[in-house]
Chains A and B, each alone.
Chain A
Amino acid sequence: MTSDDTTLDASAPWLEVDALIDDPRTRIVVCCGSGGVGKTTTAAALGVRAAERGRKVVVLTIDPARRLAQSMGISELDNVPRQVKGVDESAGGELHAMMLDMKRTFDEIVEGHADAERARAILENPFYQSLSAGFAGTQEYMAMEKLGQLRAGDAWDLIVVDTPPSRSALDFLDAPKRLGSFLDGKFIRVLMAPAKVGGRAGMKFLNVGMSMMTGTLSKLMGGQLLRDVQTFVAAMDTMFGGFRTRADATYRLLQAPGTAFLVVAAPERDALREAAYFVERLAAEQMPLAGLVLNRVHGSGAAQLSAERALAAAEALTEGLPDRVPEDEAAAPEADDDANSSPRDGGSPSAENLEPAGIVDLADGKTGSRTPGGPSPAAAAEHATSPSAPAAQLAAGLLRLHAERMQVLARERRTRDRFTALHPEVPVTEVGALPGDVHDLAGLRTIGDRLALRPGETEV
């Protein structure tokens, strides 16, 4: 997946996205990272690219932006994959997409595991309704559950999954385990049958603790809530084995060789710190990390010009300019500029020819005479023939803009270097920043192109 000869720099290998998504052994790609770094867009762009390169792909998104969802035709929440229109299928691929409906996924598990009457009892239980509507962990678990279902169906070459906007990128990894330990917990047993626990003399302390606890809980939550919980737990009891098995299976699925994790980040301190945590965590859990997608990275076609030089040049230009002149005078040169390009100004010299005058003017320091007191006749005459003032102003603006860009570049490089210093083994691909948001297939294709771009290559 990585190649040593093409590197971003000495320490970061390049993440070859095309090799990853083309590999028939890659069956699941999980995009994870902190909020606001472009996970959903990355997942969708990978889906489009993989499909147009011939794979049958399904993208599972959790919470896409409305316009992105609309553009993919998945704005209705019906919890089944929908084929995305407008994708080039000439290579034999297809793109399907779906948006996770957490409650419905949960309901389906219940319906699939319990007989009709029991299922109804569970679905109508207030505790269940509240739990399934999205409290801590449910969304993460359901995303993993849906992933398990899609994978088990084996109808897809590749499943690309976007992870929920958790409080921490690590939440979804913990969710299946948390649910598993919850279902295994002694506490559940206590809730279900307080009388059966303990009993033996050696367990006396525990027994006292428990009866005290259930008493406390009853007082705390109100007897009715506790009864609801007990009813729910009892009704779910037969499903627990199923739930646990599924949670375990999903977890193993994430560790399987066909799975590839992509950590998505923006070149900002917090996002990369989160990405570093994630990389460490994946290693600890023996989950296969494919690499880091660094989104919204800025570049410059004029990187040879440093921020300092650009600023100094901008300053030199504005110092020599009548930038404190009254409005009307400042406007005059622009009118001249117009006149120069106007065909009515028959036989006028080209702008190029006029330039030396401006330079001489500036170099001579005559600009000093263009004071707020009003233009001297000489200065006015120069204005009539020279567009250099607006050009210099514009040039100074361009240079300031460039300096800002170079500062952004330097900052992004520093943050990235900090990450690669900690994790030199993690392959990286950088995605150039776009000025606006992406909300159509064309935009996703552009992102896909940038994802797959070899470092140093530029787009055609």
Chain B
Amino acid sequence: MSRLHVVSGKGGTGKTTVAAALALALATEGRRTLLVEVEGRQGIAQLFETEALPYEERKIAVAPGGGEVHALAIDAERALLDYLQMFYKLGSAGRALKKLGAIDFATTIAPGLRDVLLTGKACEAVRRKDKSGAFVYDAVVMDAPPTGRVTRFLNVNDEVAGLAKIGPIHNQAQAVMRVLKSPETAVHLVTLLEEMPVQETADGIAELRAAGIPVGGVVINMTRPALLDNGDLEVAARGARAGIAKALSQAGLGGARRGGLAERLIDPLLEQAREHAERVELERTQHAALTDLGLPTYELGLLPEGVDLAGLYGLARDLRKQGPI
């Protein structure tokens, strides 16, 4: 079973929400998870309705059954300073480096160093053990960059390892890569039942596989129930108009005769039904395309009023119900 869950997905598919729900789901029954943010957006803090996360691991939620979710917003600059401090005892020289722009240079421009630091920090948390030799976190969930960039982000360690052929960065990159390519890691992709996110999911899986990074499951997010389908529309098309008008009228929505309030509702209502049926049909096609990928899929329903804390717990429950992820 994987212990590092990397959650990616096309922009707008709700990967931060899914990552948070997954961290909650994995934390039940007294377990402890770490939810990691790498892009400095403070999305986790917003979801859990707390103030901005500092660069330190802190408990942000309790899961049913006594589990705990901890969170960390990794800041590449701070991670580099930590790293230097850990290996070289830099002290105030670290500040001098910062003043010179070296840290800025290293974390924004130096090839992949930033990404090594971010993934390295997550891998460190995965492997961290307490005094008794037990893992500090049962699972680490990373809210990763979007699908289009995730393979490069995770695989960057390979690139850095190729660039820096010796030295601690090289060793660090190698160590990180060993974790990322092991069965300990699973990259999950979040998608909607729309063409572009599904296409990106398929492309992303191919890229991850080509890079030798293990793919976990596909989370289909924001699904909506099909209230009507083409069959119903056919009934409507077969001349049930008058019947619908009567029914609407009978339900107290006005007159059913031509020009009556209820009768005038029919065209717009049927138009909405046609759009709905078209969408249901598109979603069916996309669902089939996802099933063809041959990966475990999980479905999370749309929360019409947006995601709040209660909704997040609901999503975690739904994930858990769908089996181990």
Contacts and interface: CB of A to CB of B under 8 A. Distances in A.
Given A213-B93, A341-B238, A301 B102 contact: no
Interface in A211-249: 212-213, 216-217, 219-225, 228-229
B228 to A, nearest CB: 5
A264 B268 CA distance: 28
B23 to A, nearest CB: 19
B235 interface: yes
Contacts of A35: 10-12, 146
5 contacts: A212-B93, A220-B84, A269-B306, A337-B235, A407-B304
A322 interface: no
| Residue with the highest number of chain B CB atoms closer than 10 Å, among A187, A269, A363, A392 | A187
Contact of A351 (B166, B228, B239): B239
- Grouping DSSP codes into helix (H, G, I), strand (E, B) and loop, the A interface class, with mixed when no group exceeds half, is helix
A305 B97 CA distance: 64
Contact of B268 (A229, A301, A352): A301
Contacts, number: 257
Interface of A: 34-37, 63, 65-67, 126-127, 130-131, 134-137, 165, 167-168, 178, 181-182, 185-188, 190, 205-206, 209-210, 212-213, 216-217, 219-225, 228-229, 266, 268-271, 300-302, 305, 309, 313-314, 316-317, 320, 334, 337-338, 340-341, 350-352, 354-356, 358-359, 362-363, 387-388, 390-392, 394-402, 404-405, 407-408, 411, 435-437, 439
Given A35-B10, A356-B246, A391-B243, 4 more contacts: A165-B11, A216-B88, A392-B250, A435-B275
B109 A135 contact: yes
Contact of B227 (A316, A338, A356, A401): A401
A209 B93 contact: yes
A224 B253 contact: no
Nearest to B265: A302
A313 B248 CA distance: 7
B236 interface: yes
Contacts of A392: 243, 247, 250
A446 B88 CA distance: 61
B17 to A, nearest CB: 10
B228 A401 contact: yes
A185 B282 CA distance: 52
Contacts of B321: none
Contacts of A135: 109, 111-112, 114-115, 156
Nearest to B111: A130
B228 A398 contact: yes
A361 to B, nearest CB: 10
- Grouping DSSP codes into helix (H, G, I), strand (E, B) and loop, the B interface class, with mixed when no group exceeds half, is helix
Nearest to A390: B235
B272 A355 contact: no
B108 interface: yes
B240 A337 contact: yes
A186 B253 contact: no
A439 to B, nearest CB: 8
B105 A182 contact: yes
Contacts of B10: 35-36
A270 B34 CA distance: 23
Q: Which 7 A-B pairs have the closest CB atoms?
A: A35-B11, A36-B12, A391-B243, A301-B268, A222-B167, A395-B247, A313-B251
| Residue with the highest number of chain A CB atoms closer than 10 Å, among B40, B164, B253, B269 | B269
A140 to B, nearest CB: 11
B270 A225 contact: no
Contacts of B148: 63, 165
A288 B146 CA distance: 29
B105 A302 contact: no
B204 to A, nearest CB: 13
B262 to A, nearest CB: 9
A401 B272 contact: yes
Contacts of B306: 268-269, 411
A63 to B, nearest CB: 7
Contact of A305 (B84, B166, B265): B265
A224 B146 contact: no
B13 interface: yes
A392 B276 CA distance: 19
B243 A351 contact: yes
B127 interface: no
B130 interface: no
